[in-house]
Structure 1
Amino acid sequence: MAGTIGAVSGVALGPKPSRADVPAPSRQGWQAVPAPGSTPAAQLRSIAAAGPRLAWAVGEESLAPQSQQRALAMLWNGSVWTKTDLSHLGHTRLSDVAGVCSAAAWSVGQPVGSGSPLLRWDGTTWREADFPGRGEPDVRLNSVAVGPDRQVWICGSRGGAARLLHGNGRRWRWVDPLPVASVYLYRVVVRSPGEVWVSGDQSNGGGWSGLVARWDGKWTVLPPIAGLRLGIADLHSAGPDDVWAVGTEAGAGGPVGRPGNPALSHWDGTAWTRLEPGFTLGSLTAIAGDARGRAAWISGWNFQDQSRSTYLRRDGETWTVVRGPAGTAPAPYLNDVTSVPGTTGFWSVGMTRPAPYPPTEAYAEHLQA
């Protein structure tokens, strides 16, 4: 894997000017929602919502030294988060989750033994599902998406090549390999039936560049997003000429533990444009669209002010920094953000501190707009 996307810790490099943070509106702001029951250190890496009364969040727990790391899953029932029993599984991490209803929810996780697991929600818990390549040592499933037609798309690798796995729960097939070498995929996104986007990074010899590509029966690979060790953690496509990509540029040099730089890019159908995200040290971890299909919210981490969670909110053609609730976590770090279908609300998840060490706990915030 050329680059990495995830939580980091670092040393202060001194404040730098950026545009003023905008507090979330008092009656329509982000609010922390307890996600109890996990064993520190714990974090939620991904969240998916089927509606206001059903959502899933996954990650990992028990990351303390000399402890056995375990996969973590939470379920939202419209009122509270509850921990899902995974004692029948031996997985150490669930890295992504997607679902549109209780009969069409899927998760992928960290390999245990040979190959990555694919899990399906059975209405009560997560169960392993079969797929071509299951158990093969070189198979990695990194991210999963489910379309409104309940078709499942999974990005990862098989046979040394970046691939997509497509299926409906009964029949599966691997599509043609991505025609780019030395690629690691972080995210798969369904824009419409038959149109799927992926993001990640691509080795460029001296580091890696951001990668975004589209599958619609054939691959279309967009030009690389230039940067010093730049990985694209997530993307949102409103059309072939309106694609947003978010991630972290690790850069080069600096002290040990230096945080990266948040990276925000837009594709207009011709070229990528890098935009100023509003803060200079940290990361952008995920992006979510609104009910109209437009990019709306970005989750991030602002190294220079860790007292509250950090978002970017779409305001017309610009992005504005918005802060989450104060005093709910020591230094919250967000890994993912998603919309709630049928509403104007959003969920985000992560952990209470920016490093996955005790006493870090699983963390969630909700925007009921």
Structure 2
Amino acid sequence: MKIARLAASVVVCLGATAGCSGPETVRSAPTIVTPSVTIQQVQPRSQRWKDVAGPRLRARAELVDVVAEGPRQAWAVGFEDGAEDREGTVVVERWDGTAWKKTTLDRELYVSGFDVGGPGDIWIVGDGVAIHGDGRRWSYPRLSGLGEHRFTDVSAGRGRAVLVGTDPARQTSFAVEWIGRKFVRRATVQGQFGAVTARHGQVWVVGAGLRDGCSGVRPAVWHAGPDGTYAEMPLPDVPGGYLGQVWATSPDDVWAVGGIGGETTPWFACRTGGAAPGRAEALVMHWDGSSWQRVAVPGGDGPLVSVTASGPGDVWAVGSGSGDTTVALHFDGRAWTRERIYDYPLGRVAVTAVPGTPELWAVGAANHEADYGRDVILRRR
């Protein structure tokens, strides 16, 4: 799962009167792009999203990603005791159905990716460090032969872990797979790997491709089937666009989110083009088994940073807004709705569906750029 710092955006109601409280609805087939929706009014925070108390973390604290395997099994990762010039100590929190409990790791790290294949298969990556938990202890497997590199994401499941990263100096990216006790190199490509999901016997990596250096940024998707060969896929041309998160519910239903223009994301070596800083827009793409298409979503929001889904008719994406808010977009198979889930930006906000339920978890951090920043956990039931 991928984490990214992105510019904020305004969150509002469509065609509503003063004091509206329900979500905005935008009718759109998932493979049709329509003009941006005209925004008329600020939308109040949805009452469906509730704050949940977690373990007390020392400021500056932040949660950056969350994974759920069921109503009684969820994990969140972040840090505590951070400062303006460094990340703090890594913390992993686990939900047991009643409360969140934390484990502190003896490591400072800028966490950029996190996934859980089960209680005995937890992966955390960031900078040039990979951390693996087997349920009893934490280890730090090393990746050799790449020189300077930075991990950007990891996907784990069924005894398999795929890690992706970049070499910003050369604008190249790599994918490796953890096989028992060692890493095996799977791909090295020109471009920027931002996020990965390895599910259903397939690997999907999203990020950005570069044409003519940093002046030609475009969203990019790479795919690997059972034979392990990575190939870049044809996508609609979106100048200045990039993808920072991906989720697959099946080989024929894959969702990717990101933005167009705006400020640089931490995994990306170039500043993205196409829009002035602070005026970026959301980007959603969908794979239906035959082609990738850009998906129309409600207008007025900035980049989306996290996506989750339980099926083609239940897709959620979250991002930040320039109106100092955090927004969630939901697709029910026929239409998109927007909910404002927090009255302030939540830093590297992340969302995950809870399998077998209609519930969602979201995590982030309020005042995330200040020394008194605090972690936030939200639940939608």
TM score, norm. by length of structure 1:
0.78
Offset at residue 28 of structure 1 (A): 9.2
Whole-Å separation in 2 of the counterparts to 1:254 and 1:197 = 27
Task: Give the secondary-structure state (helix, strand or coil) at the position aligned to 1:34.
Answer: coil
Please name the residue that 1:365 is paired with. Answer: 378
* Equivalent residues of 2:210, 2:216 under 8 A apart: yes
Establish whether residue 75 from structure 1 lines up as the match of residue 56 from structure 2: no
Structure 1 pair 345–9 and aligned structure 2 pair: CA distance change class (3 A): closer
State the 1:124 CA deviation. Answer: 5.9
After superposition, where does 1:298-313 map in structure 2 within 5 Å? 298-304=317-323, 306=325, 309-313=326-330
Q: CA deviation at 1:190?
A: 1.8
Q: Which amino acid aligns with 1:366?
A: R
* 2:125 is the counterpart of 1:105: no
Equivalent residue for 1:121, pick from 125, 133, 138: 133
In structure 2, what residue type is equivalent to 1:142? T
2:219 to 205, 210, 214: 210
State the distance in 1 between where 2:113 and 2:175 align.
15
How far has the Cα of 1:366 moved from its partner? 1.7
Q: 1:184 aligns with which of 182, 186, 192?
A: 192
**Deviation string, structure 1 residues 306-359 (Cα, Å, up to 9, x no partner):** 2xx4211122232211232x6xx6544562111223433221111124x52233
Change (3 A) 1:317 1:293: closer
Q: How does 1:1-369 map to 2 (within 5 A)?
A: 5-8=4-7, 18=14, 22-23=22-23, 29-65=48-84, 69-86=88-105, 88-89=106-107, 91-110=108-127, 116-123=128-135, 127-133=138-144, 137-147=147-157, 149-157=158-166, 161-178=172-189, 181=190, 183-193=191-201, 195-205=202-212, 206-216=215-225, 217=227, 218-239=229-250, 242-250=253-261, 258-268=278-288, 271-290=291-310, 292=311, 296-304=315-323, 306=325, 309-324=326-341, 330-333=344-347, 335-353=349-367, 355-368=368-381
Q: Structure 1's 101 and 138: CA in aligned 2 closer, same or farther, altered over 3 A?
A: same
- CA shift at 1:238, angstroms? 4.4
For the 8 Å contact 1:248–1:282, the answer to whether it is kept is: yes
Q: What is the CA–CA distance in structure 2 between the aligned matches of 1:311 and 1:22, rounded to whole Å?
A: 13
Spell out, residue by residue over 1:274-294, the C-alpha distance to the aligned partner (whole angstroms, 9 max, x if none).
33321323221111121x476
- In the alignment, the residues of structure 2 paired with residue 56 and residue 202 of structure 1 have an alpha-carbon distance, to the nearest angstrom, of 32
How many equivalent pairs are there?
Answer: 339
Taking structure 1 as reference, are residues 293 and 318 closer, same or farther at Cα in structure 2, changes over 3 Å only?
Answer: closer
- The corresponding residue for 2:30 is none
Deviation at 1:68, TM superposition (A): 6.5
Structure 1 residues 204 and 19, CA gap change in structure 2 (3 angstroms) = farther
Q: Is the 8 A contact 1:163 1:176 kept in 2?
A: yes
Distance 1:66 1:129 in 2: 24
In the TM superposition, residue 163 of structure 1 has moved relative to its aligned partner by: 2.1
In the superposition, relative to structure 1, how do residues 43 and 174 fare at CA in structure 2: closer, same or farther (>3 Å)?
A: same
The amino acid across from 2:129 in the alignment is P
Deviation string for 1:68-100 (max 9, x for gaps)?
6443432323222233222x22x3322221113
Query: 1:250, 1:27 → 2: CA distance?
Result: 28
CA 1:170–1:22 in 2, change beyond 3 Å: closer, same or farther?
farther
Q: Residue in 2 aligned with 1:113?
A: none
**Contact 2:314/2:333, CA 8 A, preserved across alignment:** no
Given residue 266 of structure 1, which amino acid in structure 2 is its aligned partner?
H
Judged with a 3 Å threshold, the aligned counterparts in structure 2 of structure 1 residues 242 and 358 are, in CA distance, closer, same or farther, namely: same
Secondary structure of the 1:175 match is strand
CA contact 1:187–1:198 (8 Å) conserved in 2 = yes
Alpha-carbon distance in 2 for matches of 1:118, 1:258: 32
| Separation (CA, whole Å) in 2 of partners of 1:284 and 1:140 | 22
- Taking the aligned partners of 1:334 and 1:19, their CA distance within structure 2 comes to 30
SS at match of 1:258: coil
Offset at residue 166 of structure 1 (A): 1.3
Give the Cα separation in 2 of the matches to 1:63 and 1:132: 26
Distance 2:355 2:216 in 1: 38
Q: Which segment drifts farther, 207-216 or 236-245? A: 236-245
* Structure 2 unmatched runs, 5+: 25-44, 263-272
State the shift of 1:214 in Å.
0.9
Please list every run of 5 or more consecutive structure 1 residues that lacks an aligned counterpart in the other structure.
111-115
Q: Which amino acid aligns with 2:221?
A: V
- Cα root mean square deviation, aligned: 3.4
Q: RCO greater where, 1 or 2, for CA within 8 Å and sep 6 or more?
A: 2
